[in-house]
Amino acid sequence: MTCVIERDGDGYVSLCPEIDIASQGLSIEDARRNLIEAVELFFETASPSEVRERLHSEVYVTPIEVARCNPAHNCRQKEERK
């Protein structure tokens, strides 16, 4: 399973994208540990049909490059002229 952790305010949010389960914690390790607990609880209590419905068999985590506009370059006007 995959664990994605993101800072959120004063804490962290963790997500398991394969089954769309999320948790949180005050530290990265808390968020990770709490997600493990939530995923384990899901598998203990979910019916086999719910597991099949939620389970994503292929999840890819990969970096992407995104072009960002620098406001100093007045990007909005360039787009409007096109």
- Closest listed residue to residue 17, CA positions, set 39, 37, 49: 39
Per-residue pLDDT, 59: 87
What's the pTM value of the predicted model, to 2 decimals?
0.75
Query: For residues 1 and 22, what is the distance between their CA atoms, to the nearest angstrom?
Result: 13
Residue ranges of the chain with per-residue pLDDT less than 50: 78-79, 81-82
Per-residue pLDDT, 81: 47
Per-residue pLDDT, 61: 85
Query: For residues 48 and 28, what is the distance between their CA atoms, to the nearest angstrom?
Result: 31
Per-residue pLDDT, 73: 66
Per-residue pLDDT, 79: 47
Q: What is the dihedral of CA 55, 59, 61, 67, to 10 degrees?
A: -110
* Domain boundary assignment for the chain: 4-81
In the β-sheet with 4-8, what is the strand arrangement from edge to edge?
4-8, 11-16, 21-25
Fold of 4-81: Double Stranded RNA Binding Domain (3.30.160)
Per-residue pLDDT, 30: 98
